[in-house]
Amino acid sequence: MVATASLTTIAIEVYTIDKAHSDWIKSSIGFGAWAIFPYLILSLLLLISDKTRLQSIVAFVGSLILVLFGVGALFDGFFVHLDAQNGLLFIFIPIWQLIGGFILALIIFAVHAIWGANN
């Protein structure tokens, strides 16, 4: 799920790049890396968390919300509601996803601390 969201984000970025400029590939590498950074952090979070059933459910629901928010906002901004400021989505969506990922990490580790490995 997270890998699919990363690929979708990169595909939307490639679709929206202004290919008229000769250096478009250099300018898009940084934005592409920044756009998939929250998905990499989310993958790392899912790898290091314990695999109890309750933590898995919380991690799945939280990551589903983060992924749907990111891909949905990009799709809405670049295909539904076209605007000149939609390029800013590549800057602000990863920030919001990182904040959401931090909150998700706190919830996952709180579930572990409260209910332990019994579930």
Answering whether pTM is above 0.85, one says no
- Asked if 38 contacts 6 with a C-beta cutoff of 8 angstroms, the reply is no
What pLDDT, on a 0 to 100 scale, did the predictor assign at position 1? Answer: 66
Please give the chain's pLDDT, 119 residues, in tens.
666 776 677 676 666 666 555 566 666 777 778 888 888 888 888 787 767 788 888 888 888 898 888 888 888 887 887 777 777 887 888 999 999 989 988 988 888 888 765 55
The H or E element spanning position 69 is: helix 53-75
d(CA 89, CA 108): 27
What pLDDT, on a 0 to 100 scale, did the predictor assign at position 19? Answer: 59
What pLDDT, on a 0 to 100 scale, did the predictor assign at position 35? Answer: 81
d(CA 4, CA 22): 29
d(CA 22, CA 7): 24
What pLDDT, on a 0 to 100 scale, did the predictor assign at position 52? Answer: 78
